[in-house]
Amino acid sequence: MPYIYINIILAFVISLIGTLIYRSHLISSLLCLEGMILSLFTLNALLSLNINFALSTIVPLILLVFAACEAAVGLALLIIISNTYGLDYVQNLNLLQC
Amino acid sequence: TLTLTSLIILTLPIITTLLQNNKTNCFLYITKTAVTYAFAISLIPTLLFIQSNQEAYISNWHWMTIHTLKLSMSFKLDFFSLTFMPIALFITWSIMEFSLWYMHSDPHINRFFKYLLLFLITMLILVSANNLLQLFMGWEGVGIMSFLLISWWHGRTDANTAALQAMLYNRIGDMGFIMMMAWFTIHLNSWEFQQIFLTNPKNTTLPLLGLLLASAGKSAQFGLHPWLPSAMEGPTPVSALLHSSTMVMAGVFTLIRFYPLMENNLTIQTSTLCLGAITTLFTAICALTQNDIKKIIALSTSSQLGLMMVTIGINQPHLAFIHMCTHAFFKAMLFLSSGSIIHNLNNEQDIRKMGGLYKTMPITSTAIIIGSLALTGMPFLTGFYSKDPIIETANMSYINTWALLITLIAVSMTASYSTRIIFFALLGQPRYPSLAQINENNPYLVNPIKRLILGSIFMGFLISMNTIPHTTPQMTMPPHLKFMALAVTLLGFTVATELNNMTHNLMFKQPSRMHTFSTMLGYYPTTIHRILPYLSLTMSQNLATTIMDSIWLEKMIPKNLTTMQKTAASLVSNQKGLMKLYFLSFLLSITLGLLIAL
């Protein structure tokens, strides 16, 4: 397997760990989510260029579109949490269940 | 010669408007003399027609051709237009002379005369049109001039609303007119009368219905009638010209023009008959208890128009036309004499505040009495030569009995309200304040009224003697039917005099229900003018704002989705929000899975 792929997959794994393990702010999880998407996008683009399969060049674009929507949804959730709790600390997500 | 003289007639008034010397004082006299000469010239083709019975069609200027439809400026000079044009010019001449006295103190009197002249020109275009486009131009023209003239004193709210009312009701009629024009374009590919009558299509119900709607709007038939009593907000010469003798005749005139098509269509005839019968009865009922002298005369005009519709409905268009011509004379005269009374009593229009004018205004009271007698069909005055044949033919034809009975009742009511006018305005003791100076000596006032008196007395005889009857009149009928018209009129007279004499002694504390029905014009304006705008406004509010904006764009998907999700999520989930724990367990399970696989 070419080394460039391993590099990017390593970036993905690091971002994944960053998404799942975070201390107090919810926004850091969202940031690492963005990092995951970025590494996936780079992987897809390099893959379709190296294998010379022209039809699959559309896959990174579609991924980008969905990533944008997903980022928007994540930010909206963040804002609602911030509206109800004042901060985005993870500890206070089990208070005031609504 | 015929053709040239007719064109000269039409251009004479037009030249006067083109001169446009509005600032000078002699514009008025120039206008009046132009109309006088036009009247004199228009008698020449009429007399030629009477002598030779030769109709003429002038088609001179080819305007445009749209695909296969050729539009040109063409004039039709047949019996109807040649008889009506001198009459219209004569009455306009008298009215212009009268308004020299009536509108004397008005600063914009030049503009008033210009409007009257424009109205006359458009009316003549309407009458002499040979194709529907020209007729429509005249139709719209008289509508516009009526709007401008009714709102002459446009500082007054009532005048503005009355002019708007006239315009709107006319518009509703114009829908029917346009539908008729469209039908003729589609099916017959022409707007010329000759082609329409030659091809004589068999399924003419739809365009004739449109025509009926148009005439109902223009001639104030029931359903589209409230604009005519409201149009009395305009000055009296306007009421005399437009709303008694010429404009409201436009609708009936167009119906008469289409008589070859209406002969074959019984549905339209019956509907015209019923519409006319309802109109004449309803407006006669409303006229019985009105207190404004101009409104009584306006409703009487409406009633006579209903009578003309009835005549068309029994397939006698020529009788309707003759009644139209004779009616113009005495109705204009009634309006002019009421204008004289109003001005002399210092703008008092309520008949309860007039009285005792019999001795102080002899010419005016003579005019009113002669006009009322002619209106009710007194034998051997003008109305007799037109109204009596109508009633006789109606009695003897195969007709809807209910329509006939209603028409007869309306004829007797004609006599009643005419008696009411005479009684309250002329007889008895004066009820107006004694400072009113009554002066009839102005020749501009007296001459038109005298001319119209002569016309009212003799024109019926002259017209009916000089026209060739197109249908054979009924010659034999039982004597009780022959005297029916006279009998109901006398009945109306006697009942009215009796009731009016009773008003000296008795008085009701509160008017009875029938009385308020009649005084409020049958509650028709009150209900319709409020309900229709309310309904259309609420419907549009429902459609546009409520349905489109609020429901479909806002509430249907976005808000519903949020509330659904919120309730579902809060109902179903029993999570405790321990995010770090959940993420950690996720990570652990992924690493464990990877380790086991490898």
Q: Is residue A13 part of a domain?
A: yes
SS3 B235: coil
The C-alpha of A26 sits at a distance from chain B's nearest C-alpha, in angstroms, of 9
Note the pLDDT of residue B218. Answer: 85
Contact at CB, B577 and A29, closer than 8 angstroms = no
Q: Is residue A53 part of a domain?
A: yes
Contact at CB, B579 and A26, closer than 8 angstroms = yes
B419 close to B497: Cβ distance less than 8 angstroms: yes
Q: Is residue A17 part of a domain?
A: yes
Note the pLDDT of residue A97. Answer: 55
The C-alpha of A52 sits at a distance from chain B's nearest C-alpha, in angstroms, of 30
Q: How confident is the model at residue A35 (pLDDT cuts 50, 70, 90)?
A: very high
How far, in Å, CA of B245 to CA of B116, rounded? Answer: 13
Instruction: Write out the residue range of the structural domain in which residue A17 sits.
Output: 2-90
Give me the sign of the Cα torsion angle B324, B325, B328, B329. Answer: negative
Contact at CB, B583 and A20, closer than 8 angstroms = yes
End-to-end Cα distance, chain B: 118
Note the pLDDT of residue B63. Answer: 77
The C-alpha of B593 sits at a distance from chain A's nearest C-alpha, in angstroms, of 14
Instruction: Supply A53's token pair.
Output: 């399969």
Range of weakest confidence among A7-16, A20-29, B332-341, B511-520: B511-520
β-partners of residue B74 are B59
Amino acid, single-letter form, for residue B367: A
**Which residue is listed with tokens 């039809």?**
A55
Note the pLDDT of residue B401. Answer: 79
Q: Is residue A58 part of a domain?
A: yes
| Residue (of B324, B303, B305, B326) closest to B374 by Cα position | B326
Q: Is residue A11 part of a domain?
A: yes
Contact at CB, B577 and A93, closer than 8 angstroms = yes
Give chain A positions within 8 Å (CB) of B586: 20
B371 close to B420: Cβ distance less than 8 angstroms: no
Instruction: Supply B2's token pair.
Output: 């015929």
How far, in Å, CA of B81 to CA of B142, rounded? Answer: 16
The C-alpha of B170 sits at a distance from chain A's nearest C-alpha, in angstroms, of 59
- State the average pLDDT for chain A: 88
Note the pLDDT of residue A43. Answer: 93
Note the pLDDT of residue A1. Answer: 61
B407 close to B398: Cβ distance less than 8 angstroms: no
Rg of chain A's alpha carbons, rounded to an integer? 17
What is the CATH classification number for the domain harbouring A83?
1.10.287.3510
Chain B residue nearest residue A22, CA to CA: B580
Q: What CA dihedral angle connects B219, B220, B224 and B225, to 10 degrees?
A: 170
B387 close to B465: Cβ distance less than 8 angstroms: no
Contact at CB, B584 and A94, closer than 8 angstroms = no
Give chain B positions within 8 Å (CB) of A17: 587
User: Closest to B587 (Cβ–Cβ): which among A21, A90, A93?
Assistant: A21
- Neighbouring CB atoms inside 10 A of B578's CB total 14
Contact at CB, B580 and A17, closer than 8 angstroms = no
For the question of whether the overall pTM of this predicted structure is more than 0.80, the answer is no
Mutation target vs A (from B567, B578, B579, B585; most A CBs, 10 A cutoff): B579
SS3 B530: helix
Q: Is residue A61 part of a domain?
A: yes
- Neighbouring CB atoms inside 10 A of B272's CB total 27
Q: Is residue A96 part of a domain?
A: no
Chain A residue nearest residue B579, CA to CA: A90
User: Closest to A93 (Cβ–Cβ): which among B570, B579, B586?
Assistant: B579
Q: Is residue A97 part of a domain?
A: no
The C-alpha of B540 sits at a distance from chain A's nearest C-alpha, in angstroms, of 37
Count structural domains, chain A. 1
How long, in residues, is chain B? Answer: 598
How far, in Å, CA of B366 to CA of B26, rounded? Answer: 32
Residue A98 has pLDDT above 60, yes or no: no
Contact at CB, A90 and B587, closer than 8 angstroms = no
Give chain B positions within 8 Å (CB) of A16: 587, 590
User: Closest to B584 (Cβ–Cβ): which among A20, A26, A95?
Assistant: A20
How far, in Å, CA of B540 to CA of B543, rounded? Answer: 5
Long-range contacts of A50-57 (CB under 8 A, 24+ apart): A50/A2
From the first residue on, what is the mean pLDDT of each consecutive set of 10 residues in chain B (598 residues)? Answer: 69 72 71 83 82 73 76 82 87 89 84 86 86 88 88 86 88 90 84 75 83 87 84 85 74 86 84 89 86 87 88 86 86 89 84 82 89 83 79 79 85 88 84 79 86 84 79 76 81 86 76 77 79 88 82 82 85 74 86 89
Amino acid, single-letter form, for residue B113: F
